[in-house]
A and B are shown apart, each in its own frame.
Chain A
């Protein structure tokens, strides 16, 4: 019996995993067939899947699913890149200069507690509902982890390297780009992963409230016309893209960690 258990533990895991999925789908189908709620509120799993495929081919509220995703992704990239472009240099600067650190910390600490989504009204007022408004909301979600991780990574860089670089005549800019930045890279990349997750999540929120295209907008329209399949298809699409972004960044993270171990 012990031998049987140790020889194929993966088989048991697989069996249980399949049971879990079957149970989940089974409950879903059961709820659909017993008509717990009317069909349009709870479509069957395969209907959601059909609608998903259909959305890829046919436009809904003006765009196909691919186009909605593209416009969402472009907004996400804007906000995310902006967070990187400001967060990394600022984090390095804070680690280097006491003055900057004293100036930024209180502002940052107080703004951090504002949920990114609460920026939506100002975002719409200042930058409109096209690209700019949602970008600000994504930026507010994505910025804190980048800044925090860059700063933490940079203050834990071995003082020896900084002293050595200073002695060899490196100015503050070279110190930042050639010493602090490479040394804190693993921490920065770890921050990027968190930041991308939060940014993607803020994007969805921003699009639910202010946007005229994008997956979030598509879901709101589906919700308004009680087409639950569209709402669920949107959730799947958002989940998939989020997962893809996370996998990409995780791969990057692993590479930089290996880099650190070798050197």
Chain B
């Protein structure tokens, strides 16, 4: 939002826009019927679908069960994967030997998009949660490693030497020099990781799952139920946004010195 606008316009604009979009949606789909409801649902249908999944449930569960399943699975696998990725990134950044040892394998596996691991995960682990954990692990691992590595390496030689000269060694060197310096990059990596994890989870739930937001989409697509597809998409977006927002809060706690 451009800052040159008067402040009341800046605050009023989003709700006004939302209302306008809603009105336009009613107009083209319900009043004038320019768009066929078999292609894109009307607001009334969407509200009904929302009510149905909220109260009766749809595709093996109610809305909150789907959300909890997906969000919990992503958060847990993401946390494990990012923690390991950050650790590897720190070691690779701190030691050229470890970098040389790990890099070739890492560079070979890196161009394979996380989504391409889904069929392999299904062959190995089936449609269980464990297959999703594996796919999310792959998705979240790579960006964490790369960004942490870059962050550690971005610490300049004078700073390193100053730290050495002041006698900072061992654990303290890692925890008080290297890691704080790499913190902004680490969080950049985590944000990318989280995004990739979320996309990958939704995709693997679309391919096959009992519960989860992706499985709503899959079920709705099979039933040719456009309103339910839309409800699923809205909640995929909302949950993704919520998790990104949560990570942003965490970042502000972890890096209080960073200007926002």
List residues of A whose CB falls within 8 A of some B CB. 12-14, 16-21, 23-24, 37, 41, 98, 101-102, 105-107, 110-111, 113-122, 124-126, 200-202, 204-205, 208-209, 216, 219-220, 222-223, 226, 228, 231-232, 234-236, 238-240, 242-243, 246
Contact = CB atoms under 8 A, between A and B. Distances in A.
A235 B116 contact: yes
3 closest Cβ contacts across the A-B interface? A121-B221, A16-B100, A223-B119
B174 interface: no
Contact of A13 (B100, B111, B244): B100
B248 interface: no
B134 to A, nearest CB: 13
A106 B122 contact: no
Interface residues of B, number: 53
B39 A113 contact: no
A20 B124 contact: no
25 contacts: A17-B101, A20-B104, A21-B104, A21-B105, A111-B237, A113-B238, A113-B240, A115-B202, A116-B199, A118-B214, A121-B221, A121-B229, A121-B232, A126-B39, A208-B118, A220-B119, A223-B120, A231-B120, A234-B119, A236-B112, A239-B111, A239-B116, A242-B112, A242-B113, A246-B111
Contacts of B218: 121
Given A121-B220, A205-B203, A226-B123, A20 B111 contact: no
Interface string B26-51: 00000000000001000000000000
B13 A102 contact: yes
Given A115-B198, A219-B116, A24 B105 contact: yes
Interface centre among A20, A115, A234, A240 (most CB of B within 10 A): A115
B75 to A, nearest CB: 16
B2 interface: yes
Interface string B193-214: 0000011001100110000001
